[in-house]
Amino acid sequence: MTLSGARIALLIEEMFEDGLVLTPRQLLMDAGAQVVYVAPLVGRGYRGLSGTIVTADMAAGAARAEAFDAVVIPGGYAPDRIRLRHAMVDLVRDTMAAGKLVAAIDHGPSVLINANALRDRTLTCWPSIAVDVKNAGGRYMDRQVHEDGNLITSRKIDDVVPFTEALIRQVAARRAAMA
């Protein structure tokens, strides 16, 4: 399969938007990738806004950017909590600094603000944080999916399939280039 051997970190905290976690995970797994739920505490359950419980596969403190093909930051209100978790912000910062893939949807780009990773980058997001993205030096666009080099962003749940497809395409292209 396209993403056979790929490992994707999916960041988890309380109040994630369920479909922004479950749909990317399913599509990535369908493409052959291993999806690793990375959260503050390994083995703990985290609840989505609609009640889905996901159990963390790995503590953020144990997650290294080198171990993953990409980091996904989902939406809902989880990003408001993720941005307070130093180990999770560090993982995003290190992944961006290494030029590796980061995919963020809905409120997910707010974590990139804390990682100080948006200066002169072009991206989209949920409109409530557009002003924060701009104040952090990013260039905001209202688009279904925007790809700016290693940074893939989308606005909301309606965009989740093309968002994940863009991620799958980029992971596959990078793995093909390295093969």
State phi, psi for 171 to the nearest 5 degrees. Answer: -65, -45
Would you say 23 and 75 are in contact if contact means Cβ atoms under 8 Å apart?
no
| Contact map string, positions 131 to 160, toward a second copy, x by CB under 8 A | xx--xx------------------------
Stretch that binds a second copy, among 24-32, 74-82, 94-102, 139-147 (CB under 8 A): 74-82
SS3 labels along 39-104: ECCCCCEEECCCCCEEECCEEHHHCCHHHCCEEEECCECHHHHHCCCHHHHHHHHHHHHCCCEEEE
* 146 assigned to active site: no
Catalytic residue of the set 83, 93, 107, 121: 107
Which of 73/172 has CB closer to a second copy?
A: 73
> Which residues of this protein are in contact with a second copy, per CB under 8 A?
77, 80-81, 83-84, 107, 110, 113-114, 127-128, 131-132, 135-136
Catalytic residues: 107
